[in-house]
């Protein structure tokens, strides 16, 4: 596509955070939108905002973990827009805590949402892409697709799995040059997502700086729709952690574990609960999560830089050997 005006774009997980920011960004480009989330009132509110921006918008309440529902979403979207040009598979969640202390059903729900949900999206839309001969499927992954996240084992499994799934799809589609599978790997993003996830640590959760504005991620997604490419990294920590993990996975995983253990020791106490793993939040929460305070921007910003430095040291040691 040379422009997005009139293009049909489906966005899952569009009720808050990156999904909502992406919906608004596409609306400003004049795209025709199909917005999907679990809560009907929340997704209708986002749709109203996009209509105010001039975009034809259809809101659908559906859960990505339901394969039949997502096939129906794809059919509705194709009828609404005479085909589907872009599908943004954005839904994601997490459960934080020591693996053996997190209920197994919480781990399973994270896998169902972050991995199976994206597979359901792709399974629903790929036949449409193949029939019409073009389409862009955009996977929202995260830096967790490149390096393990201790105390979020199911999240790590889902993101590693999602990266492998996307690479396999690209291999299957090599003879369809106008169908693109694009992966997006942002570093930590300021959204309500952390508040919506499950917390079994007994401590308040936050994100290490630098924390990205969700609108920056949304802008990158819009650019990918016009100029697709397989891998898009957003934020310096993603590139540094990817490099560090590629050179010494054990070193970067150990550094991350020690960092998180230190954080949990110092963080204020918080109740243990399942968040909104199993049901939508009462209030979607908008785009921002309130994580980009001045203290967070400067307090522990050395984590990613430290991992990058470790990677450089590992390279030097290997070279000397």
Would you give the DSSP letter of residue 113? I
On whether the CB atoms of residues 135 and 129 are closer than 8 A, the answer is: yes
Could you list the beta-strand ranges (E) of the chain: 8-12, 32-37, 57-61, 86-89, 95-96, 135-140, 179-186, 189-190, 198-199, 212-213, 231-234
Catalytic residue among 123, 155, 185, 263: 155
The CA distances from residue 37 to 16, 51, 114, 264, in Å, are 9, 17, 14, 32
How far apart CA 156 and CA 160 sit, in angstroms, is: 6
How far apart CA 158 and CA 91 sit, in angstroms, is: 12
The end-to-end CA distance of the chain, in Å, is 50
Bridge partners for 135 per DSSP: 179
On whether the CB atoms of residues 92 and 140 are closer than 8 A, the answer is: yes
263 in active site:
no
How far apart CA 56 and CA 294 sit, in angstroms, is: 38
Distance of CA 249 to the CA centre of its chain: 22
Active site residues: 155
């Amino acid at each position: 596509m040379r422009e997005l005006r009139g293009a049909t774009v489906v966005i899952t997980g569009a009720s808050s955070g990156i999904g909502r920011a992406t919906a608004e960004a596409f609306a400003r480009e004049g795209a025709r939108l199909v917005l999907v989330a679990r809560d009907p009132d929340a997704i209708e509110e986002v749709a109203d905002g996009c209509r105010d921006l001039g975009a034809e918008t259809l809101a659908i309440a559906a859960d990505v973990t339901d394969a039949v529902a997502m096939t129906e979403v794809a059919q509705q979207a194709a009828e609404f827009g005479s085909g589907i040009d872009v599908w943004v598979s954005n839904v994601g969640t997490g459960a934080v805590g020591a693996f053996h202390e997190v209920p197994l059903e919480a781990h399973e729900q994270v896998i169902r949402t972050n991995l199976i949900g994206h597979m359901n999206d792709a399974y629903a839309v790929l036949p449409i892409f193949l029939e019409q001969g073009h389409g862009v499927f955009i996977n929202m992954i995260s830096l967790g697709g490149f390096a393990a996240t201790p105390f979020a084992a199911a999240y790590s499994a889902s993101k590693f799995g999602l990266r492998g799934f996307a690479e396999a799809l690209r291999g299957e589609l090599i003879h369809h040059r106008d169908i693109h599978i694009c992966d997006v790997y942002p570093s930590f993003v300021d959204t309500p997502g952390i508040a919506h996830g499950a917390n079994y640590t007994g401590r308040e959760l936050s994100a290490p700086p630098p924390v990205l504005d969700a609108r920056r991620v949304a802008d990158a997604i819009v650019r990918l729709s016009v100029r697709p490419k397989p891998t898009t990294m957003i934020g310096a920590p993603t590139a540094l952690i990817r490099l560090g993990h590629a050179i010494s996975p054990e070193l970067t995983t150990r550094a991350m574990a020690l960092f998180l253990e230190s954080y949990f020791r110092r963080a204020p106490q918080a109740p243990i609960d399942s968040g909104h793993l199993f049901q939508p939040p009462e209030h979607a929460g908008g785009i921002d999560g309130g994580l980009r305070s001045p203290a967070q921007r400067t307090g522990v910003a050395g984590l990613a830089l430290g991992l990058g430095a470790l990677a450089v040291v590992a390279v030097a040691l290997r070279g000397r050997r």
